[in-house]
Structure 1
Amino acid sequence: MTLAPQTPETPAAEPLELLRTMLEEQFALHTNRLTDLTVYGRLPGHGGYDPRTLEALAAASRQAIAETAGALRRMSEGTYGVCEDCYRTIPLGRLRVVPHARHCTQCRQHRPD
């Protein structure tokens, strides 16, 4: 009886694709939100927003876009899900909660905010 050679399966491949989809959706959501906020900022009444609030919301959207883009870049480079400090695998549970995470929970606790 001959056994067919088995192709090694990556157990994280399916969750990784789900995380990629989540990140792509978040990127689109934050990009659309920033576009809307930019338009509101140019309207005479600022779309009903206080200018300072509008700027804070836009800054938060820019930050979210940068974090999401960074995670997608790390995916394409093959470094996604690896802690930037200790180089250990970031647990899947953490990535599900914070898909743009760059550090494992233990290293994150030791980093200044």
Structure 2
Amino acid sequence: MSTDLHHQAEQHRLTMLRQALTDQFATQTARLTELTADTGDPAEAHTRGALIAATRQSLDHLAAALRRLAEGGYGRCERCEAAIPAERLEVLPQARFCVPCQQKAHG
């Protein structure tokens, strides 16, 4: 594959990943808005609180991935600096670590 075609393919892949991250960010933002609406049911408060915390964490991870994309550091493991395989990024676009480093961190 010529350098031009390779560059175009890589740009397309990054554009698609950026769109996926942006879509997920919008979905999670809408979810957070919905979760923070007061339903008036105190029995749901604990569960809703946990869902809000998880959604905020997801938004943080997505925002960080979008920032890495903008700054040119996207797709590199934050621990070992190795390239994160494209297949992993397609499944988990906000991935910060390669699989070996992720496994080390979480046993």
- TM-score bin, normalised by smaller chain: 0.7 to 0.9
Counterpart CA distance in 2 for 1:18 and 1:80 is 13
Which structure features the higher share of helix residues? 2
Counterpart CA distance in 2 for 1:101 and 1:71 is 8
Deviating runs (4+, > 3 A) in structure 1?
A: 6-9
Q: Return the index of the structure with the highest Cα Rg.
A: 1
Match of 2:55 in 1: 61
Structure 2: gaps of 5 or more residues: none
Q: How many residues align?
A: 104
User: Are 1:76 and 2:74 counterparts?
Assistant: no
Superposed, which structure 2 residues align to 1:93-104 within 5 Å?
Answer: 93-104=87-98
Match of 2:82 in 1: 88
User: 1:44, CA displacement in angstroms?
Assistant: 2.0
Counterpart CA distance in 1 for 2:80 and 2:89 is 16
TM-score (ref. length: structure 1): 0.83
User: 1:110, CA displacement in angstroms?
Assistant: 1.1
Q: How big is the alpha-carbon RMSD for the aligned residues of Structure 1 and Structure 2?
A: 1.8
Counterpart CA distance in 2 for 1:22 and 1:105 is 21
User: 1:108, CA displacement in angstroms?
Assistant: 1.1
TM-score (ref. length: structure 2): 0.88
SS of 1:111's partner is: helix
Structure 1: gaps of 5 or more residues: 1-5
